Structures are given as C-alpha cells and as structure tokens.
Structure 1
Amino acid sequence: MKRQKRITARPHKRTRLSKRSGALILTALAACGGTAIIAAQALAGPGGPGAGGTDASAGGGAGTVAGRTISCPDVGQRLRSLPPAAAPEVNRDLGQLDAQVAQAFRRWSADPGTQDQVLRGLEKDRKATIGRITDALRRAGERPDALDRLSACRTTTGNATTARNAPRDARGGNSAGNGPFRDDFVDIKTVRPNTRGNGQGGRGTASGSFRSECGRNENRHNNPDNLIVAPGVSNGAHHMHDYVGNLATSAFSSDRELAGAGTTCGNGDRSTYYWPVLRLRDNGRERDADAPGGGQDGNVGTILRPAAVSLKFDGNGADKVTAMPPFLRNLTGDAKALTNGPANANASWSCTGFENRQLKNKYPICPRGSNVVRSLAFPNCWDGRNIDSANHRTHVVFPDGNGRCRNGFRAIPRLVQRLTYAVPPNAQYAVDSFPDQLHNPVTDHGDFINAMPQRLMRTAVDCINSGRDCR
C-alpha cells in the first residue's frame, strides 16, 4: 500500500532541563525488595518518592526555577499538509526547532536571570528555521499560513501543583529540579476505585483477543529516536525508548528494512512496539548517562526493565474489526501533555491488585509486593486510506462513547500495552520525558508500527471477531 500524497503535519517541541543542587544530600544505601538504591533528598524536602526531583548527575545550575519551562507555538500543528517532496527537509527543521528550544532551556535553567536574553536569541533562531520550512513548503506547491508569527516563545509554569510543591532553596525561592516532584506521586491505597478491572477491557461485538509475546526488551534495544514522529532525526525524542518486536527500528528505518528485520516476537510478528523507559532516580550511571536522550537531556538514573509486558489486541467497539494495513503508524498519549494540555493524554498508571484505581497525572506509590502498572490503550478507528498523517493522529482515532467509529472510519484491532515494574518500596522513579515536560506522569505514551505478516493479521482479526482468545 502506498502512502498518501499529502499529510497533515504536527510539531515536535523538545526542550532541555537539568539541575545540580549544592544542597543535595545522599542518604544511605537501602536494600528495598532485594535492590540497593541511593535516595537523593533536597535541602528542605523530606525523602521518599518525588522529594524534589533532584539528582547529582543531572547537571545544570542551582538557580533553575522548578516547575517552569519554555513554551513555544507548535509550528507543525499549523501546517495543513506536508507534501512528500518537502517532508525530509521539514522534518529536519522541526527537529532543529526542538534543538534550539533545548539549548535555550539549558541556558535559562542554569541562570534564570537570563530569561529575556535567552528568549530574544531563541526567537531569532526560530525565525530563521521557520523561514526555511516556509520556503520548502512553497517549493513543493503549498501555501503555508504566516508561520513567521510563531517564532516568539515565553516561559510558563508547566503545572501549577508542580511549581507550588517544588523544594525551596536557602534563599526562599524554588530550587533546581527537573522532576518528578512531590505532588506527582500518590499512595494508591488512598485512591478511590474509578473503573472496573484495569479500565482497558474490550467490549462490543468483537469480544475476542489476540496477543503477541515479544519479551521485555531483554536485548536492551534502546534509542532516543522516534521513527513515527521524527523520521530521519537522530535523538528526535530527546528521551530513551524501550523497543520490543522489530529489531531494526531507529529514526532511519525504512518500511523495507522493517519488513526484512528480525523480531523478538515468538509468532513472527515484525511490528514495532515502543514506549519511554522507566528509571529509578537513584544516581545510577546508565550507559546513556552522558549521551543524547539520557543525561544530556535530563533523563538520569537506572533504567528499569519491565517485569512483564502484555501486547494485547482486542475489539473495543460496536463493530467487528478489519485488518490493519501494512506499516500503519499508531500512537497513544501525548509526550508533551504537561505543556500541551490533557486533551490527548491517554495513558494511565496503577498498581497490581489495585487496577480498579487508574491515575492519569500521578505516579502510584504501591504497597510492598505490588508492581507499578502502565496501561497504554491505542485508538482503533482507521480512515481506511492512510497509514500515517503528519500529526500522526487524524488517520486513526478513538471511537465514540458507544464504541462506534465516525462516518468513513472502520474498526481495526485495538492494541493495549500493559507494562508492569517491580519498583522498590519508597523509591523515587519517573518515566523518561522531553526535558521541558519535567518527567510528569501525564506525558506517558506509546507507539506502534504494524509489520505483522498478512497471514498473522488475518488470524488476529478472526480471533477477535469470533470471540476467541488467541496467542
């Protein structure tokens, strides 16, 4: 199947935040659940999860204003279409816009007093890059809106509770911190039940399911790329991803390469499944401690491999499902929901044994013996034509409240990624994020590229539509 000739674009806004506090106190090594961790405490904050988000290896300056970020207009969302001839250049320039914000954010984080100077320099750099985007679109026959109006940026509070509960330094102001913060965590036992089961169960006519068993990323396939959102851009995600399934996935993978690659899935499924890694904020030096997507982008600590990974396709809708086309791109959640708002924030957090209590914007503190759970349910109404759209959302959307797809869309198998982690009790942890997103749990997200052999896809569809549970 050929890709559509024109697709609607979406931006990739990435910034940088890092920090170092002279008041950082390393507490004693604690053996929790069989895992030795180092807890970091801020000067004025008590210990435990979210106690200031400080980390000795994060770099940066003690003057950072915690909970604040640089907010820039989302250029990609203003593009009505992205002609294939212009796509490589536009994608590179969108990535350059992200790099410019990251550099500006790094400077401002080290010295908040430079805010006005940093913003003026950033606006100048963005104006030049946006000009190149405009020229590329015009050469491809487009008539872009006045994109030059989108060059100015501002500083803003990403989250009111984050800023309010950030640790205080000796001068009375907010100390440095790239998250997570105290109010990003909640004891799951204090949360009232708000859904049945895990909140992700299927319903409707197609009541069966199909599972791919693809492991837990035992081979440590990690990179900070994003083949869907930032194709051809190295470190396009500015945070590290876990991958299972296709072994060839990087920012530069072609569909042909994906089709011929090996896979970790036991049934021959070559699809690409990926999500941001989860880390203990323990001062542990991972192999990416000094690398892009890792320590250079404020993502620090020991990467946790999931204790279990479930990749389940079901029929969460009123109609029977039809096959997904080869190389369909699909995503769920919003990696920038802290600054974009919660409209597309779809991932949820819970604990095993408590999955009738789902959290959207908090990390759960689980009791001893209970694992942290991330649930990522994907949209499953396809427009029947396109394998991608430049905002990566309009070609596959969620059904309505009755489980029905809108006119012109058809139901396809719904993917639910369920990830569990054996987080040591009272350990600080966080999902990797774009630097400006402060490791907030609302930014969790997942990605999928369909590369199932057609016979396997037909099996999945038959199992779902006939009410059978297959593996």
Structure 2
Amino acid sequence: MRRILAAAAAALFFLTTACTSSGSPSGGHEHTGGKGQHAAHAYRFTRAQTAAITAQAAAPVRGSEFRAECFSSHRKGDDPIVFPGEAGRSHIHEFYGNRTANASSTLESLSAGTTNCSPQVDLSSYWTPTVYKDGVPVAPEKVTVYYQGITDHTRAVAHPRGLRYVVGNALATSPDQNPAARWSCVGQPESSRDFMNCPAGTKLENYLDFPTCWDGKRLDSTNHRDHMAYAIGQTCPSTHPVVVPRLELLITYPVNGGGLSLAGTRNGTNVTDAPGYTFHGDFFNAWDENELQRRVTTCINGGYICGTDGNPIEQ
C-alpha cells in the first residue's frame, strides 16, 4: 500500500511540475541567514529537485530496507538544528525517538539519552511540526522511519554520527513549493501535498522523504540542507558523491475529517494555523555506529527488507 500511494502521489507531482515549470524561475535557496526571520525554514526547490523527489516517491522498494518504529516522545517549541541553544524560539514540534531532545541537544547528550524507538540502538531524534485538529494538538499514533536503498544501494554507506539536516519547506506559500511531503488517508490511494479530508473509519497520514546524497564532508551546513542533495535517478551529483539510505517518515495520526492545521511560522511569528503544505522535518543521527553500519551492510547493500531488528524478513 505504501508504494501504491507513492505512485499515485508521483502522478500528481509530475502534473504539478509540468504545469509550473514553464512560468517560474528555476529556483534556488531562500536563506538570508537571519534567525529572527526563521530563514532556515524556507527553501525553494528547483525544477530538477522537484522532479527527482517526485520520481523517488514512486520508486519501488524491492529490497534494501530496514526500519525503526517510534512514537511521539514530547512536544516543544525547540529546534536543536535551526535554533540551537534557544529554548522556546521555534514553532511547536513533535519529537520522536530520543526522549531528551531539546534546543540544547548535541550528539553527546543524545547518546547519553533514552529512546522510545524500536530498536533501542537508535538514539536519533526526529521531529516535525505539531498537527492540530480544531486547534487541539494531536500526537501521532505511530511513526515508522524507513531507511531505504533507492539510490545505487550497493554503494550506500551509513549516515555518519552527528549528521543532521532539514527537509521540506516550512514557509511554502502553495502546495507546489513543497514536493518532499505528501498527505494521504490510511488505506486510500489518493494523496495530496495539502491536508486530506479523510473519511470516517480512516486516519490521516504523512510521508516525508529525505535526500540520499551527502557531500562526504560536513555534518551540517548554514541552511542545514546544502550538505545533502537529491539523486537524479540512480546518480548522485559530483558535489555530493556519497550515497546514504533514504529516510522516509510515515506518520499516522488518529484523526480524520477537516479542521486540520500545523504549527508553523508566518511573517517571523510562530503560529498554529499553518497549512498542510508547509510540513517539514528534521533528523539528528545518534544511532549506535556499529549497529547502523551492520544494518546498512546487511539490508541496504545486501538487498533485503529487514525488520526493526535489522534482520531480513523477505527478499
């Protein structure tokens, strides 16, 4: 079902890209460096990036995958990547995995913490904006973090400890400005970059796709994105030659219907009524180094689908 939804999303994305590519500039970064303007939350995807993300959303996973099953750990107005050391500066985020994550988190503090993820060796922190239903915050029912070998899986290496980056576009002003995230309803084939009004008996879910190419040097960058890149087909750009597994967050929320909004930022002010197409996410890697490498070698390089224990469950 996950791949069916991805394929349906891809069809919509390609149509959107085709409709917008002729009348818009090629795109680029919108980063001013000013924390007061939440600049690191803004990003303008190029047409090539949009096409790459779209294609990857539809890519079948015929093997080369392992996962972590996590839950919401806590909710804070913190962002240890964008606003390190500035507690309460960010809009409200839902944190998954590491229970200690806050504005002051470092690799050392995360490594000394605990997690609600399975496996317990994943001490990473993942976070996304909080979802609201009629103004009331909603904790996800569950979060599945997929690590997938969709780009030249035989060459993939483990993410280095301490790697951190941001995906999505929190300051998008229209759905076409954020191809990294898509909404759907559990068990339904349709998807959208904005919220879905899911019928009774279903639940809201979100897929968030991370890039698969690393520059091999930096654990972070000024806008928390430029050290990572999306592959074009099976090829990483020469500036980002190191292949890593694609992270895909599948987040399920115990709600349906309308009245949905996100925590976000508008005109430099934190709000709780942002639209669904501003969804975004962060990853701060604190996996046990040896165990993460074992899973990449066994599951990603070896071409197996593995469970949370890092052992093959099917080929």
TM-score of the pair, normalised by structure 2: 0.74
Equivalent in the alignment of 1:405? 236
Q: Output the amino acid matched with 1:464.
A: I
Which secondary structure does the structure 1 equivalent of 2:274 belong to? Answer: coil
Q: Give the aligned CA root-mean-square deviation in angstroms.
A: 2.7
Residue matched to 1:337: 172
**Which residue pairs with 2:304 in the alignment?**
468
Q: Partner letter of residue 108 of structure 2?
A: R
Amino acid at match of 2:169: D
Q: How does 1:13-52 map to 2 (within 5 A)?
A: none
How many pairs does the alignment contain?
A: 257
- Residue matched to 1:209: 65
Alpha-carbon offset, residue 226 of structure 1: 0.9
Compute the displacement of 1:235 (Å): 2.5
Give the equivalent residue in structure 2 for 1:458.
293
8 A contact 2:69–2:145 mirrored in 1: yes
Deviation at residue 373 of structure 1 after TM alignment: 1.3
Q: Distance in 1 between matches of 2:182 and 2:30?
A: 26
In the alignment, the residues of structure 1 paired with residue 37 and residue 192 of structure 2 have an alpha-carbon distance, to the nearest angstrom, of: 32
AA matched with 1:210: F
Tell me how far 1:233 sits from its aligned partner.
1.9
Amino acid at match of 1:353: G
Q: 1:232 aligns with which of 80, 85, 88?
A: 85
- In 1, Cα distance between equivalents of 2:252 and 2:106: 31
Q: Aligned pair in 2 of structure 1 residues 230, 344: CA closer, same or farther (>3 Å)?
A: farther
Query: How far 1:452 sits from its partner (Å)?
Result: 0.4
Shift of residue 344, structure 1, vs aligned partner: 5.0
- Check 1:200–1:449 CA distance in 2 against 1; reply closer, same or farther (3 A cut): farther
Shift of the 200–212 alpha-carbon distance from structure 1 to 2, 3 Å rule, reads: farther
The answer on 1:396 being equivalent to 2:228 is yes
Counterpart contact for 1:200–1:375, Cα < 8 Å: no
Distance in structure 2 (CA, Å) of the matches to 1:382 and 1:414? 11
| Structure number, greater radius of gyration | 1
Higher strand share: 2
Provide the C-alpha distance between the structure 2 equivalents of 1:97 and 1:392, rounded to a whole number of angstroms: 15
Q: Write the distance in 2 (CA, Å) between the matches of 1:382 and 1:363.
A: 31
> Secondary structure of the residue that 1:364 maps to in structure 2?
coil
TM-superposed CA distance for 1:466, in Å, is 1.0
TM-score, reference length from structure 1: 0.51
2:181 and 2:92 map into 1 onto residues whose CA distance is 17
Distance 2:199 2:37 in 1: 42
8 Å CA contact 1:209–1:468 kept in 2: the answer is yes
For residues 165 and 181 of structure 2, the distance between their equivalents in structure 1, rounded to whole angstroms, comes to 14
What is the distance in 2 between the residues matched to 1:381 and 1:261?
28
> Unpaired segments of 5 or more residues in structure 1?
1-74, 80-93, 99-194, 282-300
Does residue 380 of structure 1 match 2:212? yes
Alignment match, 2:163:
328
Match of 1:317 in 2: 151
Q: Deviations over 1:365-415 (max 9, x none)?
A: 112212111110101100011100011111011111x13111142110111
After superposition, residues 142-291 of structure 1 pair within 5 angstroms as 199=57, 201-203=59-61, 207-214=63-70, 216-217=71-72, 219=73, 221-237=74-90, 239-267=91-119, 268-281=121-134
- 2:176 & 2:89 partners in 1: Cα distance? 22
1:405/1:334 CA distance change after superposition, 3 Å: same
1:443 aligns with 2:270: no
SS at 2:196's partner residue? strand
| 1:365 counterpart SS class | coil
Residue of structure 1 in register with 2:263 after alignment:
432
1:77 matched residue in structure 2: 31
Structure 2 residue 212 is matched with structure 1 residue 359:
no
Question: Which residue in the other structure is 2:48 paired with?
Answer: none
Q: Describe the shift of the 1:302–1:201 C-alpha distance in structure 2 as closer, same or farther (beyond 3 A).
A: farther
Q: Is the 8 Å Cα contact of residues 64 and 150 (structure 2) preserved in structure 1?
A: no
Q: Distance in 2 between matches of 1:208 and 1:442?
A: 29
Unaligned runs of 5+ in 2: 1-28, 39-53, 309-315
Post-superposition CA distance 1:416-445 (Å, at most 9, x none): 001112214x44111221144851111101
Q: Secondary structure at 1:337's aligned position in 2?
A: coil
Q: Say which SS state the counterpart of residue 88 (structure 2) adopts.
A: coil
Amino acid of the structure 2 residue aligned with 1:459: R
Greater relative CO (CA pairs within 8 A, separation 6+): 2
Q: Which residue of 2 aligns with 1:28?
A: none
Cα distance in 1 between the residues matched to 2:216 and 2:57: 27
Amino acid aligned to 1:313: Y
> Which whole-Å CA distance do the structure 1 matches of 2:187 and 2:160 have between them?
36
Percent identical among aligned pairs is 30
The 8 Å contact of residues 209 and 469 in structure 1, kept in 2 or not, is answered as yes
For 1:235 and 1:222, how far apart are their aligned partners in 2? 11
Once residues 405 and 393 of structure 1 are traced to their aligned partners in structure 2, the CA distance between those partners, rounded to angstroms, is 15
Cα distance in 2, alignment partners of residues 403 and 429 from structure 1? 36
Report the equivalent of 1:348: 182
Looking at structure 2, the residues matched to 427 and 342 of structure 1 have their Cα atoms a distance apart, in angstroms, of 21
Closer, same or farther: CA 453–200 of 1 in aligned 2, 3 Å: farther
Residue deviations 1:244-266, cap 9 Å, x none?
A: 11122111122211121111123
The answer to whether 1:416 aligns with 2:274 is no
Alpha carbons 2:128, 2:282 under 8 Å: kept: yes
Distance, in Å, in 2 between the alignment partners of 1:274 and 1:331 is 10
Look up the equivalent residue of 1:213 and give its one-letter code. Answer: E
